[in-house]
Amino acid sequence: MLRSSRSKNRPLCHVARDPFRVRVGRVLHRFLLLQILLIFASAGFFAARYLYRFVFESDYFAVREVQIGNVSETLEREARRWIRARLEETGNNLCRLDTAQLRAELAAIPRAKRVEVSRTLPNTLIVQFVERRPVIVANLNGPCLVDEDGVVIGAIKPQAIRNLNLPLLTGIRNQACPPGDPIDQAGLDGVLQTAGFLLRTDPKLHRQIVEWNLNNRDEVTATLSSGAEVRFGNLHPLTQMRKLSAALQLRDELKEASTIDLRMRDQVVYTLKGGESS
């Protein structure tokens, strides 16, 4: 059998191996590197655990002051009750407090129109309200305060109504309207806008109107402190306030009127209590 002469001259394959000392050094180097990584990982774990406990569990960030400004005592009292309940749940820790959830809970208070919640580390919680201001007392299932948006703020004791100097609203058909809900009835927006406008700009005329009424035909009337009934019909009452104010100032006989009709353009038609009309 013939063999190629080339196979006789081919060099044998030889694998060179590092010396034993080099191989041992390489293993030790990797082992030390692994130990260093484990030390750093352990240090990071314990540092993170310490930081977590310091931030979320220590007394350093305990809430020691709650600032609520420029609101009524009723709203502040109710807001602080909600805040205490939320802090008790979170362990009285400012960093753990969910401000978005607290803001949603405080915004659900009927007296709160808008609310912002912020924190000043390490110990102060700041709550800022835009409070609903009553412009009228609605006769629902008992007297209730209502703001200019028609939202029911809450019930009020009858003996406290006189101190508010707010007119009474009658003729509401849906009297089962809980606090926080708006009253929905035709003609109501005009009454509330007018009551709010007079409260801000014309205190004298505001005090003269003691009652607003929405009748079954959605027509608006008002009752003056003199007992006169002012008829607006389907007209927006705010558009007639200048005419009514001028008539009350210029015509002394209107103090004895039983009705004042503003439904005719550029005219004030009134009936005196004795029956005479003009």
Q: What is the mean pLDDT of the chain?
A: 87
| 103 exposure class (CB count in 10 Å sphere: 0-12, 13-18, 19+) | middle
pLDDT value of position 236: 93
Q: Among the listed ranges 30-39, 165-174, 251-260, which one has the minimum average pLDDT value?
A: 30-39
Tokens of 15: 């694998």
Per the CB < 8 A criterion, the answer to whether 128 and 143 are in contact is no
At 82, the pLDDT band (50, 70, 90 cuts) reads very high
pLDDT value of position 207: 93
Give the distance, in angstroms, between the CA of residue 17 and the centroid of all CA atoms in the same chain.
78
CA pair distance 102, 115, nearest whole angstrom: 10
| Contact residues for 61 (Cβ-Cβ < 8 A; gap 6+) | 55, 93, 94, 95, 121, 122, 123
Residue written as token pair 């803001």: 103
Q: Look at residue 190 and tell me whether its pLDDT is greater than 90.
A: yes
pLDDT, one tens digit per residue, over 130-166 is: 999 999 999 888 899 999 999 999 999 988 888 889 9
Q: What is the mean pLDDT of residues 205-217?
A: 91
pLDDT, one tens digit per residue, over 3-61 is: 544 555 555 555 556 676 767 677 777 777 777 887 787 777 777 776 667 677 788 99
Q: Regarding predicted confidence, which is higher, 216 or 180? A: 180
At 277, the pLDDT band (50, 70, 90 cuts) reads low
Per the CB < 8 A criterion, the answer to whether 268 and 243 are in contact is yes
CA pair distance 145, 255, nearest whole angstrom: 29
- What residue segments make up the domains of the chain, in order of their start? 22-57, 60-131, 134-272
User: How large a percentage of the chain has pLDDT more than 90?
Assistant: 59
pLDDT value of position 54: 65
3-state secondary structure the chain: CCCCHHHHHCCCCCCCCCCHHHHHHHHHHHHHHHHHHHHHHHHHHHHHHHHHHHHHCCHHHECCEEEEECCCHHHHHHHHHHHHHHHHHHCCECCCCCHHHHHHHHHCCCCEEEEEEEEECCCEEEEEEEECCEEEEEEECEEEEEECCCEEEEECCHHHHHHHCCCEEECCCCCCCCCCCECCCCCHHHHHHHHHHHHHHCHHHHHHEEEEEECCCCCEEEEECCCCEEEEECCCHHHHHHHHHHHHHHCHHHHHEEEEECCCCCCCEEEECCCCEC
pLDDT value of position 1: 43
pLDDT value of position 28: 72
Q: What is the CATH number of domain 60-131?
A: 3.10.20.310
At 120, the pLDDT band (50, 70, 90 cuts) reads very high
Q: Among the listed ranges 26-40, 72-86, 183-197, 226-240, which one has the minimum average pLDDT value?
A: 26-40
Q: Look at residue 276 and tell me whether its pLDDT is greater than 80.
A: no
Q: What is the CATH number of domain 134-272?
A: 3.40.50
What pTM does this model have? 0.75
